[in-house]
Structure 1
Amino acid sequence: MTHTSRGPGRAWIITPGLHTDRFVSAQNSGAAVAVVDIEDSVALADKQTARTSSEIFFAVDEPPCTLGIRMNSLTTLDGLKDLVALAAYTTRPDLIVVPKVESPRDIELVAAALDADGYTPDIWALVESPRAFDHLPQIMRAPRLGGVIFGSADYAAAVRCGLGWDALRYARSALINAATAADIPAIDAPTWEIDDPDTLRRDAERAKELGFYGKGCVHPRHVEMINDVFTPTAEEVAQARTIMAAADASGGTVTTVNGQMRGTPFFNAARALIAEADRTA
């Protein structure tokens, strides 16, 4: 049995594969995508246990959201073991998050190992190393790539920079540019401060402003705010409709809306926002 992917969502929650007691709360947190992790949150000695226990994460008759797994890197023995195990799961993930991606070959290998009759999971790349950023255009051209996720902690550790917004602005901007050029969505890294809603909101607003499709999180408490920030507000939708009305009135030529010049790029952005609002209404 396999579940059909619902596509990318705004809030993504990740939960450790060893903590089966947290599975249901993650799945029902309101996130559009719930990912069970058997990579960084699991010690080397516990990998096999997590690999086995994570199978029940997908044994849900009516999953409330898209269910995924973050496997281990394909440059490790555990990554290869993960592929063998995932291929044998009775109920398989909607979505595979591949960490430490530095080549389109990583995506191709996962597809080759897991694709089967009636089962082609979404495959997402976790981009989290300087080498990956050197090869972004090639990675983005992998035919089975569904989207990319920014891995801020690993990237900052590799570069030996801070985790603050300014230190990681280049990486985020480069990822957004490459993803947009390839017409695939990008998801921002989680905010690591668990109990700081002000920082979470500021980070989510910045990620949205930069062009990210959504944002990851590591605690169910973060889901509601991420959804709130990334959902177009009534004011934003009203402004977009005003711009489109002005576009119609001007015959699509440059015009003025509330004292601001508006032309084709603004019309396109307004049209896209209205379409999204109508789709999620």
Structure 2
Amino acid sequence: MIFDLGPALLFCPGDRPDRFAKALERADAVILDLEDAVAPASKPAARAALAEHPLDPARVLVRVNPPSTVDFAADLAALAATPYRRVMVAKADATLPSVPGFEVIALCETPAGVLDARDLARRPEVIALMWGAEDLIASLGGTSSRDRDGGYRDVARHARAMVLLAAGAAGIAAIDAVHLAIDDLAGLRSEAEDAVASGFAATACIHPSHVAVIRDAYRPSAEEVAAARRLLDAAGTGGAVFPHEGRMIDGPVLRHAESVLRRAGSKP
């Protein structure tokens, strides 16, 4: 699967155009948010700001309001006056209407959205799936997506896995959810390392300080790159299954090594 935006995607409120350029400077791509980050009374101004403060459209996503709201159509109409053609649709599910002219990141953050992730991933306009923990738990009537130790509750982990599997089955990218604890950089790093090891293409974030942590987690270390290169070099002289540095190696393990080199920007 190809995802050309890089691993660290930074949300920026759509009604704060003073932050647009700075957010894009700090991250691999910016998600200009017209949904949760913008109060209802400020949404018209946020839509206007998209056209009045242009950024490089190749590195911009715009999170639009859920299709069930009147704001959804208004958001798309406003985007028609901009060069932005990648939208993240909040609370997407199988009822998502056609959005001609746009590439879609479907944000699966309701019970219906998570259960419909497989169908959403198969739609031709959908280029990636993302999942969201907080809206999911709220829609279930819960009070927290995390336990006292800071880890996700079982239902959130299940939803995360379902969205990742749905994206993988369709050959598109999966984006991991934001880490809301701004100062918990250790927890963020642990989750980002798990995300890349599991197969996510990117992680979204809500604070600039999270960008470097995410990038570092997704970037293989020099030791990992060297080990992957040794393994692939050894594969040229081994059989279909062969021992290497204390491990038995077969096809899937070779593909793991190839993934490491791709993330490092090196050809397998």
Give TM-score, length-normalised by structure 2.
Answer: 0.90
SS at structure 1 position matched to 2:260? helix
Shift of the 166–219 alpha-carbon distance from structure 1 to 2, 3 Å rule, reads closer
**Other-structure match for 1:101:** 92
The 1-side partners of 2:90 and 2:9 are apart by: 15
Pick the aligned partner of 2:33 from 31, 37, 41.
Answer: 37
> Residues 34 and 68 of structure 1 are in contact (CA less than 8 Å); yes or no, is this contact kept in structure 2?
yes
Paired AA for residue 233 in structure 2: A
Shift of the 9–94 alpha-carbon distance from structure 1 to 2, 3 Å rule, reads farther
1:1-281 correspondence to structure 2 within 5 Å: 7-29=4-26, 31-57=27-53, 59-60=54-55, 63=56, 66-87=59-80, 89=81, 91-103=82-94, 106=96, 109-110=98-99, 112=100, 115=101, 121-159=102-140, 160=142, 162-164=144-146, 165-167=151-153, 168-251=156-239, 253-279=240-266
> Residues 173 and 210 of structure 1 are in contact (CA less than 8 Å); yes or no, is this contact kept in structure 2?
no
Q: Between Structure 1 and Structure 2, how many residues are aligned?
A: 258
**Other-structure match for 1:118:** none
> Residues 246 and 255 of structure 1 are in contact (CA less than 8 Å); yes or no, is this contact kept in structure 2?
no
| Deviations, residues 206-236 of structure 1 (Å, cap 9, x unaligned) | 2223321110011111111101101121111
The 2-side partners of 1:22 and 1:238 are apart by: 39
SS at structure 2 position matched to 1:142? coil
Q: CA RMSD for the aligned pairs?
A: 1.9
Paired AA for residue 51 in structure 1: R
The 1-side partners of 2:265 and 2:190 are apart by: 26
Q: CA deviation at 1:94?
A: 4.3
The 1-side partners of 2:120 and 2:159 are apart by: 15
> Residues 123 and 146 of structure 1 are in contact (CA less than 8 Å); yes or no, is this contact kept in structure 2?
yes
Q: CA deviation at 1:239?
A: 1.3
The 2-side partners of 1:93 and 1:264 are apart by: 40
Task: State percent identity of aligned pairs.
Answer: 34
> Residues 189 and 214 of structure 2 are in contact (CA less than 8 Å); yes or no, is this contact kept in structure 1?
yes
Paired AA for residue 92 in structure 1: P
Q: CA deviation at 1:19?
A: 1.4
Q: CA deviation at 1:42?
A: 1.2
Give TM-score, length-normalised by structure 1.
Answer: 0.86
The 2-side partners of 1:85 and 1:94 are apart by: 11
Give structure 1 stretches of 5+ with no counterpart: 1-5, 116-120
